[in-house]
């Protein structure tokens, strides 16, 4: 094997190994990015969910105020429901990849709009001057539809908190693996090239030493050592 071919092999083999190490590093980087985005998404979902019920609580207070004052203008403020619709639509999009959480969002939406329909009935009754049996029986308790929203929201937040903990732990572990992969890649690259240099130097050095020994033998008129094996330039020079 010619020296040029040997040199190419000694360069190609470490290069292939380095490419494999780089591929592992890129894979861990991609996994780290995905884990970080997932953890960040959980925190955004929790932040969005934490204030979801606020518009409903404000509307409930307005309904009671309207009943006490006999004034329907307090009830069914469109701005409240626009705010709620925007919040729950955003939350629905954020958990679209989680069927269980998406189902909870749908339940909250259904309960909230059931409460809106009931509030609209109260407003109509006030405008018509009819008595409102619901107001007499409900007392100070929260409307059951809003209680349903709150219960579903609690389960939603509990589950998302659990997922957030898992995703944060996964993100931390992925960062550790990424750092380990980088260290292995750097150290491995150094070792590979060091071993390559040693192997090449020893191979060529031994053959050059044999060539020098034969040259000295030739100069001293001593019987030459057996010819070097192989078909590289050193063996060809030794055969001259």
Could you tell me the residue ranges of all domains in the chain?
36-167
For all residues of the chain together, what is the average pLDDT? 76
pTM of the model: 0.61
200 token code pair:
């090449």
φ, ψ of residue 122 in degrees (nearest 5): -65, -45
* Percent share of the chain, pLDDT over 70: 71
Q: What is the distance in angstroms between the CA of the first residue and the CA of the last residue of the chain?
A: 18
pLDDT at 109: 92
Per-residue confidence (pLDDT) for residue 103, from 0 to 100: 93
Whether pLDDT at 55 is above 90: no
Closest by Cα among 131, 140, 133, 127 to 60: 140
* 239 vs 198, residue with greater confidence: 198
Q: What is the mean pLDDT of residues 105-115?
A: 91
- On the question of pLDDT at 134 being above 80, the answer is no
Q: pLDDT tier at 212 (50, 70, 90 boundaries)? A: confident
């Amino acid at each position: 094997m010619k020296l040029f071919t040997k040199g190419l092999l000694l360069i190609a083999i470490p290069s292939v190994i380095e490419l494999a190490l780089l591929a592992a590093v890129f894979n861990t980087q991609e996994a780290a990015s995905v884990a970080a985005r997932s953890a960040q998404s959980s925190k955004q979902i929790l932040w969005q969910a934490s204030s979801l019920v606020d518009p409903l609580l404000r509307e409930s207070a307005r309904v009671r105020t309207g009943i006490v004052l006999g004034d329907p203008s307090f009830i069914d403020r469109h701005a409240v429901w626009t705010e709620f619709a925007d919040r729950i639509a955003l939350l629905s999009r954020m958990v679209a990849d989680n069927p269980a959480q998406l189902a909870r969002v749908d339940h909250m939406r259904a309960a909230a709009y059931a409460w809106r329909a009931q509030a609209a009935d109260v407003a109509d009754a006030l405008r018509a001057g009819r008595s409102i049996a619901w107001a007499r029986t409900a007392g100070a308790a929260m409307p059951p539809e809003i209680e349903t929203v709150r219960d579903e929201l609690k389960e939603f937040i509990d589950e998302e908190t659990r997922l957030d903990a898992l995703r944060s732990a996964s993100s931390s572990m992925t960062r550790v693996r990424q750092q380990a992969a980088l260290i292995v890649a750097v150290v491995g690259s150094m070792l590979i090239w060091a071993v390559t240099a040693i192997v090449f130097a020893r191979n060529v050095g031994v053959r050059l030493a044999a060539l020098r020994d034969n040259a000295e033998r030739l100069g001293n008129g001593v019987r030459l050592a057996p010819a070097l094996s192989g078909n590289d330039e050193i063996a060809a020079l030794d055969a001259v």
